[in-house]
Amino acid sequence: MSFSESDIQSVKQRFAIIGNSALLNNAVRVAMQVAPTDMSVLITGESGSGKESFSKIIHHLSPRKHGQFIAINCGSIPEGTIDSELFGHEKGSFTGAHEARKGYFEVTNGGTIFLDEIGEMPLGTQARLLRVLENGEFIKVGSSKVQKTDVRVVAATNINLLQRVEDGKFREDLYYRLSTVPIYVPPLRERGKDIELLFRKFASDFAEKYKVKPVTLSEEAKERLIKYRFPGNIRQLKNLVEQISVLSTDSREISADDLFHYLPQESSLPALYRNGTSGSDSFSERDILYKVLFDMKKDVMDLKKIVLELYNHQGTAAQLVKDHPSLFDGIEAADEPVVLNIATVNTPISTQPLQEEVQDITHETEEDSLSIEKKEKELIMRALRKNNNKRKYAARDLGISERTLYRKIKQYDLED
């Protein structure tokens, strides 16, 4: 079934979904296509990206639209009571169970249940849920009677469920049963100018709520807003606009400098390890830091060796610059040549201590560099021993990718 752009725009307007990015429109299109079926759906996306709106699209465009829709946050229900909440319990089945209670799967018969943060569901409850999905059967807590239910399950998560499967914290069979149709809701930073549209919508809403003039953004402020990563996504943007609407009294037009004071400062480290991707080609921030540190150590050692050679051998400066051009990048030549007259300081009293000091610093730098490599080698050996030489789990403990671990094992000759 195909849908026109006007069909998609109509659904977005009905469910208050703002934005025109291609990724967002694709998610809406998939939700519209799967809605008329009874297939299980797994919605993935970061926290605050608006996953619940897509579960409502699926329910209200389905034959179950006249049935009940219940949204449940699995992460907010204590492990000891979640079975009772979902499947119900009999009177006296546990302390405090003074009367029998119907669970959500019984109450929502003929409707749709939205299970948010499904990755936080306990393993025992996962087994019960799998039985509902496969056979439409469940048993109340404290009962032995099998009951039937006809409920469609739409699940959502902001974590990597496959990683949870590998960690033994999520059932593999349940994962594949839930993800019959996956829907990816893009984070705000991947939606481009949608951020500006949402800002205007929230500014208008809060202006009406607080009886003030809506705040607007200068062109520079718009650019800065779009470049911001918004780790909290739409929820964070909404809170930001409310804060600006209330606290901005001098002017209702927000400049880039004004916006800077409202936006939380982000880490300067490159975010190369994205949420939900942990493939062999990905690198963690620790890898980047290791590389930077080792490169800096190498440059410092090279420079100190050059200084030592300058004091030990006269007339070698030009040759050294030719041999090590990368160390002098960005350094402009002086108008007049600088002459080092080694003869004027070539007495044993003046040069010998300096030579010894430079040599000591060079040796110290080499030892420091070796000690870092030694520590890294020891950490890798400990991680491998701890995990019985299973590299996948050793890499996870070290916080690096398997590909990086393989490279380090080869570098340090640890393959035996």
pTM above 0.85, yes or no: no
- In this predicted model, which residue has the larger pLDDT, 403 or 180? 180
Q: How far is CA 95 from CA 81, 89, 297, 304, 342, in A?
A: 11, 11, 63, 74, 90
Model confidence at 405, pLDDT cuts 50, 70, 90, reads confident
| Mean pLDDT calculated for residue range 340-358 | 47
Query: Which residue do the tokens 């400990």 mark?
Result: 382
Per-residue model confidence (pLDDT) at position 393: 80
At residue 47, the 3 state secondary structure works out as coil
Mind listing the pLDDT tens digit for each residue in 4-33?
Answer: 999 999 999 999 999 999 999 999 999 999
Domains of the chain: 5-186 (3.40.50.300), 190-262 (1.10.8.60), 285-411 (no CATH)
- In this predicted model, which residue has the larger pLDDT, 172 or 310? 172
Model confidence at 277, pLDDT cuts 50, 70, 90, reads very low
234 sits in which H/E element: helix 233-247
Cα–Cα distance measured from residue 61 to residue 34, given in angstroms and rounded to the nearest whole number: 9
Residue pair 138/132 in contact by the 8 Å Cβ criterion: yes
Report CA 195 to chain centroid distance, whole Å.
19
Per-residue model confidence (pLDDT) at position 274: 40
**CA-based nearest residue to 185, from 71, 61, 41, 72:** 41
Pick from 119-133, 261-275, 377-391 the range whose average pLDDT is largest: 119-133
Does 282 score more than 50 pLDDT?
Answer: no
Model confidence at 303, pLDDT cuts 50, 70, 90, reads confident
The beta-strand segments (E) located in 128-206 are 137-139, 146-148, 152-157, 181-184
Cβ-Cβ contacts under 8 Å for 359 (sequence gap 6 or more)? 308
Mind listing the pLDDT tens digit for each residue in 151-202?
Answer: 999 999 999 999 999 999 999 999 999 999 999 999 999 999 999 999 999 9
Does 338 score more than 80 pLDDT?
Answer: no
Cβ-Cβ contacts under 8 Å for 390 (sequence gap 6 or more)? none
Per-residue model confidence (pLDDT) at position 311: 59
